[in-house]
Amino acid sequence: MVAIGFIEVFLATACFVLVRLLSSSRKGLPTSWPVVGMMPALFVNIHNVHNWATGILGRTNLTFFFQGFWFTDTSIFATVDPANVHHIMSANFVNFPKGPEFRKMFGILGDGIFNADGETWKSQRKAMQGLVTHVKFHRFLAKITREKVKNGLMEVFDKLAESGVEVDLQDVFQRLTFDLTFKLVTGFDPGCLSINFPEAIFSKALDDAEEAIFYRHVFPEWSWRLQRILGIGMEEKLRIAQKNLDQTIAKYIKMKREQLQKPSIDMKEEEDGSDLLTSYMLECEKSDDKCADKYLRDTILNLMIAGRDTTGSALTWFFYNLSENPSVEAKIREEIGSLIPTAGKIDLRVFEEKALLDRMVYLHGALCDSLRLYPPVPYQHKCPTKPDILPSGHQVDASTKILFEVYSMGRMKSIWGDDASEFRPERWISEKGTIKHEPSYKFLSFNAGPRTCLGKEVAFIQMKTIVASILHEYNVHMMAGQKVVPANSIILHMRHGLKVKISRRT
C-alpha cells in the first residue's frame, strides 16, 4: 500500500513538472510545442487567463497568435490593436460576421440577435431599436427601476444594516438586475431580490450556461461534442441549464398570451409604457403574424443575458473599485449631494428626470473607467468570410478565429497611457467639465460599429439610479482578506463573490 501511494505521488508530481516545463517560455511568451501547441501554458494559467493574456499582448505589440492543438479549432489570433478593431467592427464589417463557429459555441441563444447575421440580424436590430428608444419604454424603465430600488434593494439593505450580517454584494446585484431585466422584458417580476434570498433557478441556469460556453472556447469542438453524447462535464451542465431556461421562458410566454387576451386589460394604452414582450406581440398582431414561441424564447433569452449579466457585473466591479479608491467615492457623494439636497430618505422619483442623471458627470466618468478595467463581456471573437489584411499587417482568412481581449485592451499603456491600470474617472472628463468621448474601437465595453449595444443608455440610467441611491443612503464596507478575481465565464463575474457589510449613513 505504501509503494502504491508513493507511485501515485510520484506520477502526480511528474505530470505537474512536465506541464510546467511545457508551459515555460522565453520573455514571458508561451512556447509552441509539437502536437499540443501552447495549450500547456493556457492550462497552467487558466485560473488567471485575462491577466495572463494582458501580459502577453502588452509584450507583443497588441497582437499575438496562439497556437492550439494540432488539427483542431483551438488556434486563435488575439488582438487589441484599435486599428484592427475598427477595421473588423466598422470599416470592413460585412466581411466579419459572427459566423458559424460563434453560433456553435453560443447555440443556446438560438436565432436571437447575438447569433444572427445578415438580413436576420438587420431586421431584429431595427425592431429592437424602435422599441428601446420609444418614449413609453423609457417611462416604463424609469418606473420599474424606481420601484425595484425602493421596494427591493433598499428594503434588503435596511435589513442587512440592522442585522450587521455579511452579504455577497455580487449576489445582491445579480438578483436586482435579474428582476429588473425580467420585468423590462416580460412585464413580470420574479421576486428574486428579497431579504429571504429565494432560490433563483433561472438565474443559476444562466450562470451555468455562461461557464460552459467559456470552456467551449478553451477545448476543441470534438471534446465537448463527446461530453454531450456521454452526458458528462460542462456539456451536461449546459443541457440542464438550457432545460431550466426553456421551461421558465415558456411559462411566462404562456402567461403573457393569457394576459393580453383579457379584455379588461388594454395594454396598448398603458400610460406607464409596457414591457418588450408585450410590444413584440402587439407588433405581430398589427402585421397579422402570430409570434412563434421559438422566436419569443430566443428574443427573451438574448435580452436577459444582455441586461441582467452585464449590468450586474458592472455594478459589482464598480463598488469593488470604490472600496479600493475612497477618494473617488467621496467625490461621487459630493456630486450627488449637490444635485439631490435632501435631509431625509431619498425620494427616488428624482431619478425619473433624465436631465438630473445627465448632470452626474463624475459618476458617469467613474462608471466608464470601471467598465474599461472590468468590461462585463471580457472578450469577443470574429471570423472573416474572405481573406483580408488587417491594419497591423496580419493576413487572416476564413479559418482564422479572431479574438478581441476586451479586458486586456482597457489595460494597455499604449492605448490608455502609463496610468492604464489605475481607476481614474478624471480621464473621462474634459476641461470644460463635460463627458469626454472615447471612440468605441478603443473603449469596447458596449461593442463598436453597427453592432454597438442598443441598451447602452438603458444601462447608464439603471446604474446611475442604483449607485446614487446606495451612496446617498448607505455605506458599503468590503470585508478584509477576500480574494477578488474574475471567474471563468463569458461574463466577468467574480469567482468568489464580493463579501460586504452594509450600514446606514448618519
Q: What is the pLDDT of residues 64-84, one digit of tens each?
A: 999 999 988 889 999 999 999
C-alpha cell at position 334: 459630493
User: Could you give the CA distance from residue 264 to residue 250 in angstroms, rounded to a whole number?
Assistant: 24
Tens-place pLDDT, residues 85-128 = 999 999 999 999 988 888 889 999 999 898 888 898 998 899 88
Q: Which of 3, 5, 27, 23 is nearest to 15 (CA)?
A: 23
pLDDT above 60: residue 7: no
Kindly tell me if the per-residue pLDDT of 482 is higher than 50: yes
- The mean per-residue pLDDT over the stretch 415-429 comes to 97
Q: Is the pLDDT of residue 268 over 50?
A: no
| pLDDT bracket for residue 156 (50, 70, 90) | very high
The pLDDT, as a whole number, for residue 245 is 94
Per-residue model confidence (pLDDT) at position 9: 43
- Cα 48 from chain centroid (whole Å): 18
d(CA 328, CA 334): 10
Residue-level pLDDT at 17: 42
pLDDT score recorded for residue 160: 96
Residue 234 has pLDDT above 50, yes or no: yes
Q: In what order do the strands lie in the sheet with 63-66?
A: 63-66, 76-79, 402-405, 379-382
% of the chain with per-residue pLDDT over 90: 67
Helices (H), strands (E): how many in the chain? Answer: 21, 9
- What does 108-160 look like in DSSP terms, one character per residue? GGTTSTTT--HHHHHHHHHHHHHHHTSHHHHHHHHHHHHHHIIIIIHHHHHHH
- φ/ψ (deg, to 5) at 368: -65, -45
| pLDDT for the residue numbered 271 | 56
pLDDT tens profile 168-207: 999 999 999 999 999 999 999 999 998 889 988 888 999 9
Match 400610460 to its residue by C-alpha cell: 271
Q: What is the band of 492 on the pLDDT scale with cuts at 50, 70, 90?
A: very high
Least trusted range by pLDDT, from 39-53, 131-145, 270-284: 270-284
Largest CA distance in the chain: 80
Give the list of residues 6+ apart from residue 349 with CB closer than 8 angstroms, or none.
146
pLDDT at residue 11, rounded to an integer: 45
Residues 198, 201, 207, 208, CA torsion sign:
positive
- The three-class DSSP label of residue 96 is coil
Contact 54, 379 (CB under 8 A): no
What is the architecture of the domain spanning 92-375+410-504?
Answer: Orthogonal Bundle (1.10)
Percent of the chain with pLDDT over 70: 90
Q: What is the pLDDT of residue 356?
A: 84
Torsion angle defined by CA atoms of residues 498, 499, 501 and 502, in that order, rounded to the nearest 10 degrees:
30
User: Distance between CA 191 and CA 359 in Å, rounded?
Assistant: 32
Residue 476 backbone phi and psi in degrees, to 5: -115, 115
Name the residue ranges covered by the structural domains of the chain.
92-375+410-504
DSSP characters over 290-334: PPPHHHHHHHHHHHHIIIIIHHHHHHHHHHHHHHH-HHHHHHHHH
